[in-house]
Amino acid sequence: MKISDVKEVFRNIYNRDARIYIAPGRINLIGEHTDYNDGFVLPAAIDKHVIYGLNENGSNKYRFHAVDLDQTFEAQAGKLIQADLGWPNYLMGVIDQLNRAGHDIPGFDAVVTSDIPIGAGLSSSAALEAGLATGLNEIYNLNIPKLDLVKLSQRAENEFVGVNCGIMDQFASVFGKSGHVFRLDCRSLDFEYFPLKLNGNGIVLVDTRVKHSLGTSEYNTRRQECELGVSLVAEGNAQVKSLRDVTRDMLESVRERFDPVVYKRCDYVVGEIDRVQKACEDLVAGRIEDFGEKMYETHEGLSKDYEVSCEELDFLVDFTKKDPDILGSRMMGGGFGGCTINIIKETGIPSFRENVSEAFKNRFGHPPLFYDVKVDDGVRQFYE
């Protein structure tokens, strides 16, 4: 759906004009399972968006319409309660956080649509939150700084929706910059942009369309394994608070006290935090091939040491190794399904898609989906 369609839908339902806000989804080039270890990630906003039509309505009611689901929802200012529908909670969560920060939010109307695939790991949820938070901030002249919009969007998802997400997704949706990735320090929330010069290569996501149910419990287990590793290293180094503070040498020196499984989990995370730094050096030096190689290393670690991959993801990454047009490939996100992210020579994209589609379907019974993405700006008001 185009922006002009959102305006029209808004006008048809509410008989007024809307202000338009667009909030992107995100990719993460490298730095996986590093966020909750106080490490670095390297995300970027993409050219897939949630589009909002928004405007005040002069009442004490919030009225939402989700075009893609053809569903409508109403809530009353000051009386927000969790909805069974699901999606209104992302919106109410934002209002709830604004309220908690001391801002009254009078009634408004919202039309929302999106071309970010839902649940594929491109953070449609964070875009929903960042888009509304930004729109309401401007419409009601709240003057909330961008970083606070990021934080309250995350808390909206944590507290109102009840999803224990990190801060990267909302960060990327707000601070994304066209042509750039940014390295986010998940401990300090400092960040730095790096130009992503792809030199004739494109970014293609391949969606397995599977989500293995193991995901949530394994995620919690990984977090515990990391904490256990930190506590072992911290016994001799009181300044160690997270795997961010741990080096390979420190790990090695206490290796005999580690359970081998916990050791390899920690070894992956420590290596990955370091790899993000080196990958940024590659970008600065224009070494996109070396950058791609590091994506393969990340996947290897996630698959063999961190053990959060699955057959479908491994199949897709292995398949790319036969294709000389592919510079890098890895699973993206928490794991156990979702997408791989691939850097591919532009000219090789059509044949890659065709070949992998066929092979994947033969093996798993259904073809994967493909999303070509470009690195784009963060959330903004759209003016004609």
Q: Which residues are catalytic?
A: 169
Sites for Mg ion among residues 192-221 (CB under 5 A): none
Q: Does 332 bind ligand ADP (CB under 6 A)?
A: no
Residue 125 or residue 242: which is nearer to Mg ion going by CB?
125
The string over 172-199, giving b where at least 16 C-beta atoms fall within 10 Å of a residue's C-beta and e elsewhere, is: bbbbbbeebbbbbebeeeebeebebebe
Q: Does 28 bind Mg ion (CB under 5 A)?
A: no
Residue 115 or residue 346: which is nearer to ligand ADP going by CB?
115
17, 68, 190, 281: residue in contact with ligand ADP (rule CB under 6 A): 68
Strand ranges across the sheet with 71-76: 71-76, 61-66, 108-114, 43-56, 19-28, 380-382
Q: Which residue has the tokens 């969007």?
A: 153
DSSP conformational letter for 120: S
Chosen from ligand ADP, Mg ion, none, partner binding at 162 (C-beta under 5 to 8 Å by type): none
DSSP conformational letter for 58: S
Cβ distance 153 to 126 under 8 Å? yes
Q: Does 75 bind ligand ADP (CB under 6 A)?
A: no
Strands 191-195 and 71-76 come out as: unpaired
The region, left, alpha or beta by phi > 0 then psi within -120 to 50, assigned to residue 19 is: beta
Q: Does 74 bind ligand ADP (CB under 6 A)?
A: no
97, 125, 309, 329: residue in contact with Mg ion (rule CB under 5 A): 125
Residue 28 or residue 242: which is nearer to ligand ADP going by CB?
28
Distance, in Å, from the CA atom of 170 to the CA atom of 136, rounded to the nearest integer, reads: 16
Chosen from ligand ADP, Mg ion, none, partner binding at 242 (C-beta under 5 to 8 Å by type): none
Distance, in Å, from the CA atom of 156 to the CA atom of 93, rounded to the nearest integer, reads: 4
Q: Does 205 bind ligand ADP (CB under 6 A)?
A: no
Binding piece for ligand ADP, criterion CB under 6 A, among 11-19, 112-120, 191-199, 242-250: 112-120
Binding piece for ligand ADP, criterion CB under 6 A, among 114-122, 192-200, 205-213, 321-329: 114-122
The least distance separating ligand ADP from the CB of residue 35, rounded to whole angstroms, comes to 15
* Whole-angstrom Cα Rg for the chain: 22
Question: What tokens appear for 275 in the block?
Answer: 């790899």
Chosen from ligand ADP, Mg ion, none, partner binding at 302 (C-beta under 5 to 8 Å by type): none
Residue 122 or residue 156: which is nearer to ligand ADP going by CB?
122
Q: Does 69 bind ligand ADP (CB under 6 A)?
A: yes
Distance, in Å, from the CA atom of 245 to the CA atom of 267, rounded to the nearest integer, reads: 13
Q: Does 118 bind ligand ADP (CB under 6 A)?
A: yes
What residues line the site for ligand ADP (CB under 6 A)? 66, 68-69, 86-87, 90, 112-114, 118-125, 128
